[in-house]
Structure 1
């Protein structure tokens, strides 16, 4: 059973329950309890972070959406949209024990071949990396912090 650990994100008052030997956390976006895994702990924190600290509307966030990549079914952790329904932010979450390395960046880059989203974030709850993509010049730039939501 996963015991929550402190992350490099603000603490939030989550609804957590235990049944048998399993902890569950309530997901405010999907409106249901989910098994509390290390990755889910990071995902729930980061969703609260982008809503509470960066102003992303809860109604414009989708969790664990599907995508097809080279005929394989994959899942993106978090996608945020603007008010026109355009994808503006793609976030890949890992468990705190998973190092953020080239393999993780390659994974989000592969997902973004399908999505073509201009802002990417990678986090394990302890380290966070943000990247802006310029599709016209086929370039990218790491940025210090996640921009605030803007319409």
Structure 2
């Protein structure tokens, strides 16, 4: 498990028609604030503020094709213009179990990245795919 220290940031938020929205700095748009979106936006800020990843190398809700099915990766990080890391976000009360891992593994069939990350905001697991041993759990990621 990876220890995440989330930065305290004042998010841009607003209320519209009784629904709360948060400004996504990667997509440059307001999005409805759901429990999963809260985790996604906090993890994005962790990547930007703590890990120093520029938003220019991130895609949020990146559409991919799995056979004939359209799916969306929560966050894809690019290196040298190629997908490098997939981050799958779940709301805080979702247990990170085999089903969640299987979802990110399926997404990786389309993108073939070096790193896979799953988080529910409380717990975060990172795995490296390109090792001699196959899949390897990481105590921290790049």
- Tell me which interval the TM-score lies in, with the shorter structure as reference length: over 0.9
Q: Which residue of 2 aligns with 1:29?
A: 26
Structure 1 segment 1-150 matched on structure 2, within 5 A: 9-82=6-79, 84-134=80-130, 137=132, 139-147=134-142
Higher RCO, 1 or 2 (CA under 8 Å, sep at least 6)? 2
TM-score with structure 2 length normalisation?
A: 0.92
RMSD between aligned residues: 1.5
Aligned-partner Cα distance in 2 for 1:112–1:127: 21
- Give the number of aligned pairs: 139
Deviates more, 1:103-112 or 1:12-21: 12-21
| Gapped regions of structure 1 (runs ≥ 5) | 1-6
Could you list the structure 1 runs, at least 4 aligned residues long, displaced by more than 3 angstroms after superposition. Answer: none
* TM-score for both structures, normalised by structure 1: 0.87
Deviation (angstroms), 1:105: 0.2
- Give the superposition deviation at 1:146: 1.9
Match of 1:3 in 2: none
